[in-house]
């Protein structure tokens, strides 16, 4: 099946700093990528949807200036958490879908962010 990777797998940062998370589709062209956030013992919540070469569409309540998404190529999307605070500590998961993949989404392994 199609493979999606994320980097880093975990990161610890100080409050006020920015953190970039990468999501890559390794063996297919991802026309659409999705970013989710998951707090402990809760379900995944969709943050935003991005299509290659265009601006991301954010879900209600997600600050687009705080969570910057760039989908510059068909294999890479990045999520930057700007001026991170402890309440941004969470598990961030990306997924990707592409042409010829029967509308399936393939998920990355996730990135655990801890803000001190």
Partner 1 sequence: DAKTTQPTSMDCAEGRAANLPCNHSTISGNEYVYWYRQIHSQGPQYIIHGLKNNETNEMASLIITEDRKSSTLILPHATLRDTAVYYCIVINFGNEKLTFGTGTRLTIIP
Which three-class secondary structure state does DSSP give residue 1?
coil
3-32 positions binding partner 1, by CB under 8 A = 4, 6, 32
Q: Does 43 bind partner 1 (CB under 8 A)?
A: yes
Q: Does 112 bind partner 1 (CB under 8 A)?
A: yes
Q: Does 89 bind partner 1 (CB under 8 A)?
A: no
For CA atoms 97, 38, 43, 67, the dihedral sign is negative
Which stretches of the chain bind partner 1, using CB under 8 A? 1, 4, 6, 32, 34, 36, 43-46, 49, 91, 93, 95, 97, 103-110, 112
């Amino acid at each position: 099946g199609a493979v999606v990777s994320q980097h880093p797998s975990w990161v610890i940062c100080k409050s006020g700093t920015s953190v970039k998370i990468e999501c890559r589709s390794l063996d297919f062209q991802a026309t659409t990528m999705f970013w989710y956030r998951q707090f402990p013992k809760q379900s995944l919540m969709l943050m935003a949807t991005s299509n290659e070469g265009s601006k991301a569409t954010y879900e209600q309540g997600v600050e687009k200036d705080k969570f910057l998404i760039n989908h510059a190529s068909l294999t890479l999307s990045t999520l930057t958490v700007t001026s991170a605070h402890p309440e941004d500590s969470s598990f961030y998961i990306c997924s990707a879908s592409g042409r010829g993949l029967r509308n399936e989404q393939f998920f990355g392994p996730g990135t655990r962010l801890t803000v001190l």
